[in-house]
Amino acid sequence: MSATACCISINLPRPNYCGERSNRVLLRKFVRCSVASDLALSSGLGGGDGNDFPEGRISADCVVVGGGISGLCTAQALATRHASSVPEVLVTEARDRVGGNIVTMEREGYLWEEGPNSFQPSDAVLSMAVDSGLKDDLVFGDPNAPRFVLWDGKLRPVPSKPTDLPFFDLMSFGGKLRAGFGAIGIRPPPPGHEETVEEFVRRNLGDEVFERLIEPFCSGVYAGDPSKLSMKAAFGKVWRLEENGGSIIGGTFKALQERNKNPKPMQDPTSRSLPKPKGQTVGSFKKGLAMFPRAIFSRLGNKVKLSWKLTAIKKRDGFGYALMYETPEGMVSVETKSVVLTVPSYVASTLLNPLSNEAADALLKFYYPPVAAVSISYPKEAIRRECLIDGELKGFGQLHPRSQGVETLGTIYSSSLFPNRAPPGKVLLLSYIGGATNTEMLSKSKSDLVDAVDRDLRKMLINSNAVEPLPIGVRVWPRAIPQFLIGHLDHLERARGALSKGGFKGLFLGGNYVSGVALGRCVEGAYETAAEVSNFLATYAYN
């Protein structure tokens, strides 16, 4: 789940996921036809504790564990791009729905998100959307819509293009000058150790850039503490600019030169038909982000098994794995040549502990702080006049530095960002609260969270005498976004190395703690993992 800056980047009834009923009917028929209690699995499953003789047995080339966006996109990529090398793919999800933290709700003219809110429209995301049949359902925000940061009691626009830099009032002239000198390399050299985001930005671009831009951005994307986040792990592309070019500007020029010398190979012909959003913007779908996992679920059909809880992974003699599941139809065993774990790292740790204590221990090092998504609505006249543009609330949203005396991390202007998100005359606002610097929010009730959001908004966006807000949806995520802290990449490499040393070939780690927390990075990571699985099976399984 990615929080506020994904646009800049509770317990309500479950949405009716299309195809779920038919999927379960097919599942029951499939398992009944697969009952083979008189057949034992191959050796290596243990000492005959009863699980060696399951009620059902299924085989696959790859099992993707986890039906969130990472798992579904991995399976979709395997099915669309690697079907010849990975013909049989299975996705298993412990819950009774797909989508993971993507939750879209709709009621009484409101359409709102209770997890991530949008995505950066990269080629990877657009390709996956088109392959899933959603090309005509894509919607994009206005690239000219402003983004704001709260500073000294006022919402100040963030520069959206280089020509804005001399004129925006979020930073002083001295702060801009310091940032410019630092960007070209007039700043202290790298310290020789893994830097936090705060250390890197203060050293390269100065205090004002950090305090007024990057700190709120970190709160928005990671709900994290930039004094603990690793620059290399969390913002690797920017970190590599200085590493490769000696400075941020030097690295940018070098990257452009290398791109011109080594242009990308001709893309897949289907990419030519991808939508081409104008400018820097974000995307969603007409009926919200949940259309994405539902569409993939519908395409994959009976390849997706819901309410399947993985209880054990056992290495088979020779090659492959046996996975034991608790399902609505009883215990089922799946024999597979490869496994992709896209579940959260703490779940993967539990599953891998019987195989590798070292890998399991490394995966427990990742921290997931709590975050609440709070959607509330006001009448349009509740918006302060100075916050209106041409009489309307326009913009992507706003971010709130921790130093500005507000509790919320930021607010997305949901009804301004995408069409048909609120009834006429109403404004729908999605605020995030919590994160690594405010774990105490877990002790608050839903009404307390609504009150906290309303109290903050009345300090800068909503008239102090406005009517009480209408609570639309409150979702609390006790473990929301993995934090890419100092040592993150080392822990991940340690887990992978332990699996490799233990002989667990064909067992892959995926998900947002591997690829990155933004939805777009999850999709890109899914394509990368699918390619790894395909290469693995082509190299090992079919020799």
Residue 488's SS3 state is helix
Q: Quote the strand ranges of 110-232, DSSP E.
A: 110-113, 138-140, 147-151, 154-157
CATH architecture of 161-258: Orthogonal Bundle (1.10)
**Mean pLDDT, rounded, for 440-462:** 97
Q: What is the mean pLDDT of the chain?
A: 89
Per-residue pLDDT at 37 exceeds 60: no
Say what the pLDDT of residue 268 is. 53
Distance CA 254, CA 510 (A): 31
CATH of domain 118-122+134-145+369-477: 3.90.660.20
Domain residues of the chain, as ranges?
58-101+289-367+483-541, 118-122+134-145+369-477, 161-258
Per-residue pLDDT at 465 exceeds 70: yes
- Cα 344 from chain centroid? 11
- Lowest mean pLDDT, pick from 42-46, 184-188, 316-320, 410-414: 42-46
| Percent of the chain residues topping a pLDDT of 90 | 81
DSSP assignment of 273-307: GS----SS--EEETT-TTHHHHHHHHHHGGGEEES
Say what the pLDDT of residue 29 is. 36
Q: Which is nearest to 372 in space by CA: 114, 106, 12? A: 114
Distance CA 241, CA 306 (A): 43
335, 59 in Cβ contact below 8 A? yes
Q: Which is nearest to 429 in space by CA: 406, 401, 462, 381? A: 462
522, 512 in Cβ contact below 8 A? yes
pLDDT tens digits, 157-201: 998 777 777 788 999 999 999 999 999 999 999 999 999 999 999
**Mean pLDDT, rounded, for 199-211:** 97
Half-sphere exposure of 85 (CA within 13 A, CB side): 19
Burial 146-182 (b: 16+ CB within 10 A, else e): bbbbbbeeebbbbbbeeeeeeeeebbeeebbebbeeb
Per-residue pLDDT at 10 exceeds 60: no
Per-residue pLDDT at 76 exceeds 60: yes
Higher pLDDT, 465 or 41: 465
Domain 58-101+289-367+483-541 matching CATH 3.40.50.150: the answer reads no
**Mean pLDDT, rounded, for 356-374:** 98
- Lowest mean pLDDT, pick from 24-33, 238-247, 492-501: 24-33
Say what the pLDDT of residue 540 is. 78
Say what the pLDDT of residue 164 is. 78
**Mean pLDDT, rounded, for 310-317:** 96
Asked, colleague to colleague, whether 58-101+289-367+483-541 and 161-258 share their fold, the answer is no
